[in-house]
Amino acid sequence: MSRMKLKEVDRTAMQAWSPAQNHPIYLATGTSAQQLDATFSTNASLEIFELDLSDPSLDMKSCATFSSSHRYHKLIWGPHKMNSKGNVSGVLIAGGENGNIILYDPSKIIAGDKEVVIAQNDKHTGPVRALDVNIFQTNLVASGANESEIYIWDLNNFATPMTPGAKTQPPEDISCIAWNRQVQHILASASPSGRATVWDLRKNEPIIKVSDHNNRMHCSGLAWHPDIATQMVLASEDDRLPVVQMWDLRFATSPLRVLENHARGILAIAWSMADPELLLSCGKDAKILCSNPNTGEVLYELPTNTQWCFDIQWCPRNPAVLSAASFDGRISVYSIMGGSTDGLRQKQVDKLSSSFGNLDPFGTGQPLPPLQIPQQTAQHSIVLPLKKPPKWIRRPVGASFSFGGKLVTFENVKILSQQGAEQQQHHHQVFISQVVTEKEFLSRSDQLQQVVQSQGFVSYCQKKIEASQTEFEKNVWSFLKVNFEDDSRGKYLELLGYRKEDLGKKIALALNKMDGPDVRIKEEKQESEFLPSAAGTFNISISEDIDGLITQALLTGNFESAVDLCLHDNRMADAIILAIAGGQELLARTQKKYFAKSQSKITRLITAVVMKNWKEIVESCDLNNWREALAAVLTYAKPDEFSALCDLLGTRLEREGDSLLQTQACLCYICAGNVEKLVACWTKAQDGSNPLSLQDLIEKVVILRKAVQLTQTMDANTVGVLLAEKMSQYASLLAAQGSIAAALAFLPENTNQANIVQLRDRLCRAQAEPIPRHETPKIPYERHQLPKGRPGPAVGHTQMPRVPAQQYYPHGENPPPPGFIMHGNVNPNTAAQLPTSPGHMHTQVPPYPQPQRPQNGWNDPPALNRVPKKKMPENFMPPVPITSPIMNPLGDPQSQMLQQQPSAPVPLSNQASFPQPHLSGGQPFHGIQQPLAQPGMPPSFSKPNIEGAPGAPIGNTIQHVQSLPTEKITKKPIPDEHLILKTTFEDLIQRCLSSATDPQTKRKLDDASKRLEFLYDKLREQTLSPAIINGLHNIARSIETRNYPEGLTIHTHIVSTSNFSETSAFMPVLKVVLTQANKLGV
Amino acid sequence: VSVINTVDTSHEDMIHDAQMDYYGTRLATCSSDRSVKIFDVRNGGQILIADLRGHEGPVWQVAWAHPMYGNILASCSYDRKVIIWKEENGTWEKTHEHTGHDSSVNSVCWAPHDYGLILACGSSDGAISLLTYTGEGQWEVKKINNAHTIGCNAVSWAPAVVPGNLIDQPPGQKPNYIKKFASGGCDNLIKLWKEEEDGQWKEEQKLEAHSDWVRDVAWAPSIGLPTSTIASCSQDGRVFIWTCDDASGSTWSPKLLHKFNDVVWHVSWSITANILAVSGGDNKVTLWKESVDGQWVCISDVNKGQGSVSTSATEGQQNEQ
């Protein structure tokens, strides 16, 4: 059984692992002085092997071999660096047969150097069996030999060792020596006689001697507790007492605990530094045990062969690895974590067979019997490698992210127990924290949401313009802002640098410069003079020159020829004038010919203007003139072609322009209202991974979408693939910052794109609000059934597809929403509900939200409205309040209007946006054509949406109106003593009314008359305080005497001394009446 | 970072893992007390939904499956078992037990849901097993023996990436996923595994930078960029960020995020893959973010002020270098 064996080396040797600090891990072996090998050779060597766990073979890679003249009783590897420049591998310290201690440089051994000995000292008497490095001061090494000799060596000053104190008497061999693991100046030594001595190096004397009374301890091993300073273990080699004793120096009269797990003497022990509950021991019973010295429990027995092990070591760096040297000439490396090495063993068997051909490797005269490899089933019955998990695999701390930017953390705080042992104090708490890293992003997103709710787009854009860092950014926001203003096209023109007033001035100036004001007047005069003169006689030439021919053509009514002649003679003006007379067709042809001949710089512009061919301009203008082209489109394009032309220009800029022009395409797309292309163009130019740059984009997109919704009823709801991607990215970012509600609000509504549907589902469920049972939103996934209980005969159901990606619904469960399933068989139930294939369901989503929704329809539970056939119950209460209407156009007056006439076609689309009439005035080309006059255009659409912010101010009005009639019904009579008030006031109002002349005053008085009802009501209910009643009677009396100033004084007194809420309903009107009466003198 | 909920789990021994479900509404915890617990933590509450008993040793990790398969939780334990638990009509029960490992099972991780229900399990026996649900309560097991000599400590799947992510797959055609996952082990290596056409798992890459046990690996979620990213942490105190830009996935370069003074046990990416939570043996949790110039910066020390933290002198013994 070698299932935990990792490596093996065929050597009878002492062994030392490289220190924990070193990487890779090496194992040094030095020929053991205790045992001759099979050849009885006296040769010795020091070898270094690398532990390469990535190599699956059992062989250990030998890095270097150094032939030595010494054999070793003890070998250790300390981390001390012998000089500043090299020796990264530390120092190998060997105890020899003849009182010698030799320091080797392992890095030189590995490098193959000949001079590998750093120093040597043979001060000891007899074999040096005990060596240990101080873990606090790694330059200090303790050694023990015969005659009670103990030396402390300073590797920096190796020549003269110190002693820990006077030699113990009687002289005895020192078999073990160990530095304390907690206190650096404490050392322990032990001898086969059974005595252990603890030395204090500061006092330079032994402080405690430990020995039990039966005197049968035969110390072969000594180890300090890794954590508790006062505890140590001693192992006994004596077969009569094969025990490990655990001592606590505070109770040094008898062992704290005795581990009696071995049947025969113990040869070596090793205490894990990584877990104080793991103590290895190997003995003459051929066992290697791993026990918990704190309880005595055997945690595991390593499977070994029948040979004794005389040395055992934990690997300092890899706490699961240990090595054991056995008398059969083998060093084996094991893992205590178990692990199947079937593959390894098979490999070895294969190796053997291939080498020996399965014949007779040892010349026994018999072929090898087939090797039995234990079966898997047998292995599964084997107990755990260790009964308890080692400390180093017990994860004490963890932090994991979850959806919504939440971080789940737990920790087990370390504390030191009273004995000094480290323990994990168990906190049973798990903390859920919200991680917010993008504060600016969140605050900007919040602002955007507020803007959408308050519809304050213009001021938002204005703020953005002011805050813009770049000219381009400023332009973009300016363009966006225009969408929400009157005369958007005109404003666009202004943004492009074409201000009508400025242009008018410039033209006037230019004309003045050229001719001067006098010339113009003269011209007019000339015209008027010319016409009468035409009434006089003139000569009609019919000569054969051009003039004559034209004349003849005209005389015969042949306009076409006349025009041709004029054109031929380059008399363009004549040609055009004649063509006008010759009719539309001729004019058109003539224009064409004119443009063909004319070479002026602005001809093409004029061509386009006259031919109404804006596509030509957009398609072929120099891209550096994109502003001019856009200006022309803004001025002339018909609404139905406007967007397309802007689009076209944008596309050209993007495709053909340099990087600067490419970004300008964004402006064209804003004019076009093309959200998807804006996203594409913007994304190309920006680094989209940064939340703030995504925020930059989303702000523009949301605003533009709002604008499009306000102006163009088409397309407002459809969400392009790219936009959907960006919006879901944005929502994901918001969610990751814990803003689940905001994320939901920004998520596009009218899309079946899988990523959005899934994200919406996740967001809805992540919202902590409990979802009403009967309205549990469906999971947007195909559900896969996992039968409950242990595997066995499957319960019910049709056959489960082998590939789980195919769908499967349990009966009665809701089908997934459309758009998610791309393939596979559809459950019959589902098919009945979905008339078209799921992939095309989005075509059935009505373009506008259902009328019965709440006014702020964005409050709807988003997960529920994907299957259009399933309407929500009328009384449905949304389970999840979503606080913003950002991606949903509901609440727009237009969409509401359209809801009211859903069957009507949408004739308004495309025309809605442009408040054109202004354009016909003041244009340079006025009179040539008026392409923009659109009869029958609904004027309301030219206004941005100001009134009708969803749900807001209407409520108050309604309430007020309704309150009056209900009160009339319940009226009681006014108490007789106060009736005088009513008659007095009403009488006064009547008098005022009869003498008042202007309607405004009359209206005021009428209103006052009504409002005083509040007073009368209070009189009926007798709820007014006596002070007020008295005051009112005083006023009434002053009215009787027509002393209105006195009445006003009393009025002021009442108001100033009474409770405002008690009197506010009628006192102000009473003042109005008194003031009017005073003014009118009635 | 602010604590919004403190869940008292009443575990009787060390907690080893705590994971929220897909929606962040339920918390699963596991402990050395051999139990797995599930809490409803909505609205800052903590309602114990289930106390799952079945493991015979400390339970190291829990993992939620994607909700499209129902409410399913996997747990792995020192008892060499992997148990898959399922909620059925409000009751949690064991639905499958995987006993194919010879030593402690240290890590479980569900594959991206697009692949079906597949669970990767890493064990101290050095093997990684892959459990695939094939229907009718049956799980098919594939095993990678000797994935990491003397032990696999962590497994983490690569996100599902299909060429042409945005375009809906034509109906009836199975997306051409390339399944990959990363593992880390006691051989100090990170290995990347890829499923071959024949369904066998092959070692695709060996990532070497750590000088001690790799304690955890975490493949970053896909955020639509062509770069693949993996975080790894180790007994050697180091945390590396590995990135691969080329489409073939063959060239990975490590960047040292930080060298801690103690073992680093766990790394976890935020859903948007821009923040890494690092939890270390000094019981400290830190959050890291890549700055504009590509450096990793600690943005937060998650310190809940839970009593004093003291570290004994021996604690760092294996980690100094």
CB contact under 8 A, B72 and A786: yes
**Cβ neighbours for A321, distance < 8 A, ≥ 6 positions apart:** A6, A25, A51, A314, A315, A333, A334, A335, B150
What does the CA dihedral A439, A444, A447, A451 come to, rounded to 10 degrees?
A: -160
For residue A300 the two structure tokens come to: 């595991």
Mean pLDDT of A228-248: 91
**Cβ neighbours for A827, distance < 8 A, ≥ 6 positions apart:** A807, A809, A815
A192-201, A679-688, B172-181, B199-208: which range is least confident on average? A679-688
Q: Which residue has the tokens 């509901």?
A: A890
pLDDT band at A601 (very low <50, low <70, confident <90, very high): low
**Is A318's Cβ below 8 Å from some Cβ in B?**
yes
What is the model's pLDDT at position A715?
52
Beta bridge partners of A233: A223, A246
Beta bridge partners of A5: A334
**Is A380's Cβ below 8 Å from some Cβ in B?**
yes
A290-301 residue pLDDT tens? 999 988 899 888
Rounded Cα distance between B127 and B107, Å, is 11
Longest distance between any two alpha carbons in chain A, whole Å: 163
CB contact under 8 A, A429 and B275: no
For residue A965 the two structure tokens come to: 């009639």
Mean pLDDT of B142-156: 91
* DSSP secondary structure code for residue A497 in this structure: T
Kindly report the three-state secondary structure assignment for every residue of A169-183: CCCCCCCEEEECCCC
Q: What's the Cα-to-Cα distance from B98 to each of A59, A861, B65, B72, B140, rounded to whole Å? A: 32, 41, 16, 15, 10
Closest partner CB to A407 (pick from B149, B265, B302): B302
pLDDT band at A711 (very low <50, low <70, confident <90, very high): low
What is the model's pLDDT at position A969?
46
pLDDT band at A688 (very low <50, low <70, confident <90, very high): low
The three-state secondary structure class of B219 is strand
CB contact under 8 A, A182 and B313: yes
Mean pLDDT of A276-296: 91
- Is the pLDDT score of B71 beyond 60? yes
Residue of A nearest to B218 (CA): A400
Mean pLDDT of A594-607: 70
CB contact under 8 A, B15 and A339: no
Residue of A nearest to B269 (CA): A401
Mean pLDDT of B96-101: 92
A738-772 residue pLDDT tens? 888 888 888 877 677 777 888 888 888 888 654 44
Mean pLDDT of A670-688: 74
Residue of B nearest to A413 (CA): B309
Mean pLDDT of B112-141: 92
Rounded Cα distance between A82 and A695, Å, is 60
A53-104 residue pLDDT tens? 777 788 888 888 988 888 899 999 998 887 655 556 889 999 998 889 999 9
Mean pLDDT of A1040-1060: 84
- Is the pLDDT score of A539 beyond 70? no
Mutate: best of A428, A799, A842, partner B, most B CBs <10 A = A428
- Is the pLDDT score of A933 beyond 50? no
Residue of A nearest to B5 (CA): A432
Closest partner CB to B93 (pick from A21, A395, A788): A788
Alpha-helix residue ranges (DSSP H) falling in A797-867? 828-833
For residue B300, which residues of chain A lie inside 8 Å, CB to CB? 435, 437
Mean pLDDT of B130-159: 91
Q: Percent of chain A, pLDDT > 70?
A: 65
* DSSP secondary structure code for residue B114 in this structure: G
pLDDT band at A862 (very low <50, low <70, confident <90, very high): very low
Mean pLDDT of A194-221: 85
Q: Which amino acid is at A116?
A: V
For residue B166, which residues of chain A lie inside 8 Å, CB to CB? 721-722, 725
pLDDT band at A634 (very low <50, low <70, confident <90, very high): confident
- Is the pLDDT score of A815 beyond 60? no
B200-227 residue pLDDT tens? 999 999 999 998 899 999 999 987 777 8
Distance of CA A327 to the CA centre of its chain: 61
Residue of B nearest to A412 (CA): B14
pLDDT band at A811 (very low <50, low <70, confident <90, very high): very low
pLDDT band at A723 (very low <50, low <70, confident <90, very high): confident
Closest CA to A369 of A377, A380, A358: A358
What is the model's pLDDT at position A741?
84
What is the model's pLDDT at position A782?
57
**Is B48's Cβ below 8 Å from some Cβ in A?**
no
A139-148, A501-510, B35-44, B163-172: which range is least confident on average? B163-172
For residue A21, which residues of chain B lie inside 8 Å, CB to CB? 320-321
Q: What part of B 239-258 touches A (C-beta under 8 Å)? A: none
- Of the ranges A148-157, A524-533, A545-554, B164-173, which is most confident? A148-157
pLDDT band at A893 (very low <50, low <70, confident <90, very high): very low
A827 versus A676: which is more confidently predicted? Answer: A676
A413-427, A773-787, B129-143, B299-313: which range is least confident on average? B299-313
pLDDT band at A1055 (very low <50, low <70, confident <90, very high): confident
* DSSP secondary structure code for residue A750 in this structure: S
What is the model's pLDDT at position A339?
54
What is the model's pLDDT at position A356?
47
Closest partner CB to B23 (pick from A429, A762, A781): A762
What is the model's pLDDT at position B42?
87
CB contact under 8 A, A227 and B312: yes
pLDDT band at A784 (very low <50, low <70, confident <90, very high): low
Q: Chain A to chain B, count of Cβ pairs less than 8 Å apart? A: 385
Closest CA to A849 of A707, A717, A710, A727: A717
- Is the pLDDT score of A920 beyond 70? no
* DSSP secondary structure code for residue A423 in this structure: E
* DSSP secondary structure code for residue A494 in this structure: H
A420-429, A951-960, B176-185: which range is least confident on average? A951-960
* DSSP secondary structure code for residue A774 in this structure: G
Closest CA to B65 of B144, B157, B202, B145: B157
Mean pLDDT of A366-372: 45
Q: What's the Cα-to-Cα distance from A230 to each of A79, B194, B269, B317, rounded to whole Å? A: 25, 53, 44, 20
A142-156 residue pLDDT tens? 999 988 899 999 988
CB contact under 8 A, A787 and B95: yes
A969-999 residue pLDDT tens? 456 788 888 888 888 888 888 888 888 888 7
Contact criterion met (CB below 8 Å) for A124 and A100:
yes
A521-530, A557-566, B136-145, B241-250: which range is least confident on average? A521-530
The three-state secondary structure class of A334 is strand
- Of the ranges A461-465, A816-820, A871-875, B26-30, which is most confident? B26-30
Closest partner CB to B9 (pick from A379, A404, A428): A428
Q: What is the mean pLDDT of chain A?
A: 72
Min Cα distance A736 → chain B (Å) is 7
A216-230, A482-496, A710-724: which range is least confident on average? A710-724
CB contact under 8 A, A412 and B14: yes
What is the model's pLDDT at position A306?
67
Q: What part of B 85-114 touches A (C-beta under 8 Å)? A: 86, 88, 93-97, 99, 102-104, 106, 113-114
Closest CA to A222 of A254, A201, A246, A242: A246
Ramachandran bin of B213, using left for φ above 0, alpha for ψ from -120 to 50, beta for the remaining angles: beta
**Cβ neighbours for A678, distance < 8 A, ≥ 6 positions apart:** A666, A669, A670, A700, A701, A704
Min Cα distance B97 → chain A (Å) is 8
A696-705, A950-959, B34-43, B55-64: which range is least confident on average? A950-959
pLDDT band at A849 (very low <50, low <70, confident <90, very high): very low
Q: What angle do CA B6, B7, B11 make, to 5 degrees?
A: 135
Mean pLDDT of A680-694: 73
The three-state secondary structure class of A146 is coil
Closest CA to A676 of A726, A746, A751, A618: A726
What is the model's pLDDT at position A101?
93
* DSSP secondary structure code for residue A436 in this structure: -
- Is the pLDDT score of B2 beyond 50? yes
For residue A813 the two structure tokens come to: 């469960």
A41-55, A220-234, A249-263, A616-630: which range is least confident on average? A616-630
Contact criterion met (CB below 8 Å) for A887 and A749:
yes
DSSP string, A973-1012: PPPHHHHHHHHHHHHHHHHHHHH--SHHHHHHHHHHHHHH
Min Cα distance A372 → chain B (Å) is 20
- Is the pLDDT score of A315 beyond 90? yes
CB contact under 8 A, B13 and A732: no
Radius of gyration of chain A (CA): 51
Phi, psi values for residue A25, rounded to 5°: -90, 130
For residue B317, which residues of chain A lie inside 8 Å, CB to CB? 20, 135, 273-274, 316
CB contact under 8 A, A316 and B102: no
pLDDT band at A42 (very low <50, low <70, confident <90, very high): low
B6-26 residue pLDDT tens? 888 889 889 999 999 999 999
**Is A810's Cβ below 8 Å from some Cβ in B?**
no
Rounded Cα distance between B213 and A392, Å, is 11
CB contact under 8 A, B137 and A790: yes
Q: What is the mean pLDDT of chain B?
A: 86
CB contact under 8 A, B95 and A389: no
Burial class (CB in 10 A: 0-12, 13-18, 19+), A120: middle
A604-613, B271-280, B281-290: which range is least confident on average? A604-613
User: Helix, strand, coil: what percent of chain A each, to 5?
Assistant: 40, 15, 45
Q: What part of A 4-63 touches B (C-beta under 8 Å)? A: 6, 20-21, 23-24, 53-56
pLDDT band at B265 (very low <50, low <70, confident <90, very high): very high
Q: What angle do CA A957, A954, A1072 make, to 5 degrees?
A: 30
What is the model's pLDDT at position A50?
92
Q: Percent of chain A, pLDDT > 90?
A: 13
Residue of B nearest to A401 (CA): B270
Give me the interface pTM, i.e. the ipTM: 0.91
Closest partner CB to B136 (pick from A53, A410, A787): A787
